[in-house]
Amino acid sequence: MVPFQSSQTGRFINEDEPIKISESEEIFLLILARGENYAGKMVDVIAECTNHTLSLNPGSYFRTLKILSDRGMVIRIDMNKEQHEAKNGKAVYYQITEMGLQALHDKEVFRQKLRGIEVTDVIPT
């Protein structure tokens, strides 16, 4: 298949090659797949979903969001003054892109393939 160009980021996506993402990247993409959000709220969602066993410091989650942005998987939405006030004072939101959705799809395809593999196929008994 021929790579296609993302209408949101202008980057090319090669359908033949899966997009690889880390666990932390996947977590943020899964949250953003539900709708645009700001970093602090995403961290709250992660803490709530893990019964507060996984906590992220600002350096780590902003680094992950920057990596996702640099790779074209999320876009950063800077709010103007009116939007900023309407969004409860949160000035920067993030939104998943087509490439981010494709990365989640590729990760799920990988998991489904793994589910079809017996443990004995990988680890001899």
Residue with token string 């797949």: 33
Quick: pLDDT tens for 49-98: 989 888 777 788 899 999 999 999 999 988 766 666 666 666 789 999 99
CA distances from 66 to 12, 30, 39, 96, 108 (A): 19, 16, 11, 13, 23
Quick: pLDDT tens for 35-49: 999 888 898 999 899
Domain ranges across the chain: 20-113
CATH topology of domain 20-113: Arc Repressor Mutant, subunit A (1.10.10)
Q: How far apart are CA 27 and CA 87, in angstroms?
A: 23
